Amino acid sequence: MDSNGQTPSITWKKFLAFIAFQLGFIAILFAYVQMSMKIDPGGYDSVTLADPVDKDNSFNFTLLLWTCPFGKFCRIENCSRLLGIHNCHITVERSWYSKADAILVHHREVHRNPKKLPKEPRPPSQRWIWANMESPTNSPNLDFMDNLFNFTMTYRRDSDIFTPYGWMEVLPQPQNFTIPPKSKLVAWVVSSWQSGSSRVKYYKELRKYIQVDVYGRHHSPLPWVEHLSTLSQYKFYLAFENSIHEDYITEKIWRNAFLTWTVPVVLGPPRKNYERYIPSDSFIHVDDFPSAQELAMFLHELDGDTLRYQSYFRWRSWLKPVRGMWWAMNFCKACQVLQKKPIQFQTIPELSKWFKGGGNVTG
């Protein structure tokens, strides 16, 4: 016996029992994680939050995600909880193909090879959705998509399923706001640097007359975790789109500018197109100035006039910018739209012509 009156062998048995319990718990936890992770036969991982939509766990509409956007995780959330959409079953399991009411195909993953599309005959009542958030300039081989799809899901307002990069929500009541302190003037984050593009040419002219701090590949590094905190120090942000098309107003506005409380200076579709989405006094358009030099002069004037600069934030007292591009929500939105639409036995004959016809390309 030890000093406490216990038999050492008994204490050792308790220790072994404790270790066995811990190992068993770890095994159960590992099995649970494995069951929660599903592998798409197309080669993409997916995470499914599998709470039942209805108490009887029955569904009357199944949407099959044939490809996960940009090869990333397909995060599938409960549409009933997310958007109040009932009876919607979203899956990446291709074994559901013959039973699915609709399938969603993201352009980027199939544009190089049409053989990546389903090979089995399409069930008579099944509808196909063409999803794409890139501009026509950055969407090669659009002709492959003609006479295949029944619905479009893009940033374009005239899509069957409208999925913009962002939108404005009206606040229930006006609110006060405080503009974060600004110590720097103009910033630009660019990942795709093409010397012959319109936006790079404009930047090179603009920098002759005003200091522009450029971040991204081949420029000053900007870690993702420091993205927002760095840009929030600037008064203006160059929200220059990589190509100019109708409704192509991307995260450059919604995240890089509005989320960091900078005033966006935009180069993209015409001002009237922007004003469908954001207030006219929330941004500065390069088209409003005859030259880059006059734009630079205007930015310098605003820098020296606090009240005039603050006028570009007045809309924040009654509007809230909301960043889109949350794929889980877009999947649910697709389910919602198709649940309400009657089954159609026709395809879009010239999808490429429709998508390319949404604006002039300037590079």
Alpha-carbon span 278 to 257, nearest angstrom = 12
Q: Helices (DSSP H) in the chain: which residue ranges?
A: 8-36, 79-83, 107-110, 198-206, 227-231, 251-254, 271-274, 292-303, 306-310, 327-340, 351-356
For residues 243 and 60, which has the higher predicted lDDT (pLDDT)?
Answer: 243
Q: Is the pLDDT of residue 2 over 60?
A: no
Main-chain phi, psi angles of 181, to 5 degrees: -60, 140
CATH hierarchy code of domain 167-323: 3.40.50.11660
Quick one: DSSP state of residue 359? Answer: S
Categorize the per-residue pLDDT at 3 as very low, low, confident or very high, splitting at 50, 70 and 90.
very low
- Is-contact 129 103, C-beta < 8 A? yes
* Closest of 119, 92, 139, 125 to residue 327, by C-alpha: 92
Q: Is 246 a catalytic residue?
A: no
Mean pLDDT of the chain: 83
List beta partners, residue 166: 323
For residues 14 and 341, which has the higher predicted lDDT (pLDDT)?
Answer: 341
Alpha-carbon span 220 to 338, nearest angstrom = 45
Categorize the per-residue pLDDT at 35 as very low, low, confident or very high, splitting at 50, 70 and 90.
very low
Quick one: DSSP state of residue 122? Answer: P
Residue-wise pLDDT for 39-81, tens only, equals: 233 333 333 333 333 333 445 899 999 988 877 667 888 888 8
Instruction: Record the tokens describing residue 8, joined without a space.
Output: 């050492």
User: Measured between alpha carbons, how far is residue 148 from residues 10, 104, 140, 142, 291 in Å?
Assistant: 72, 12, 16, 11, 45
Instruction: Record the tokens describing residue 217, joined without a space.
Output: 């590949």
- Is-contact 260 232, C-beta < 8 A? yes
Residue-wise pLDDT for 279-327, tens only, equals: 999 999 999 999 999 999 999 999 999 999 999 999 999 999 998 768 8
Question: What is the topology classification, in CATH, of domain 48-162+327-356?
Answer: Rossmann fold (3.40.50)
Main-chain phi, psi angles of 52, to 5 degrees: -65, 140
Sign of CA dihedral 131, 134, 135, 139: negative
pLDDT of residue 360: 36
Per-residue pLDDT, averaged over 205-233, amounts to 92
pLDDT of residue 32: 33
Instruction: Record the tokens describing residue 328, joined without a space.
Output: 């889980």
Instruction: Record the tokens describing residue 295, joined without a space.
Output: 């734009």
Please report where in the chains the tokens 């209805």 appear, as a residue: 54
Q: Is the pLDDT of residue 36 over 60?
A: no
Q: Which of 77, 109, 134, 241 is catalytic?
A: 134
User: Measured between alpha carbons, how far is residue 93 from residues 36, 43, 68, 289 in Å?
Assistant: 14, 11, 12, 53
64 burial type by CB count under 10 A (0-12 exposed, 13-18 middle, 19+ buried): buried
Q: b/e per residue, 194-207, with b = 16+ CB within 10 A?
A: eeebbbbebbeebe
User: Measured between alpha carbons, how far is residue 36 from residues 48, 231, 327, 350 in Å?
Assistant: 7, 38, 19, 40
pLDDT of residue 38: 34
Categorize the per-residue pLDDT at 344 as very low, low, confident or very high, splitting at 50, 70 and 90.
low
What 3-state DSSP class applies to 168?
strand
pLDDT of residue 73: 65
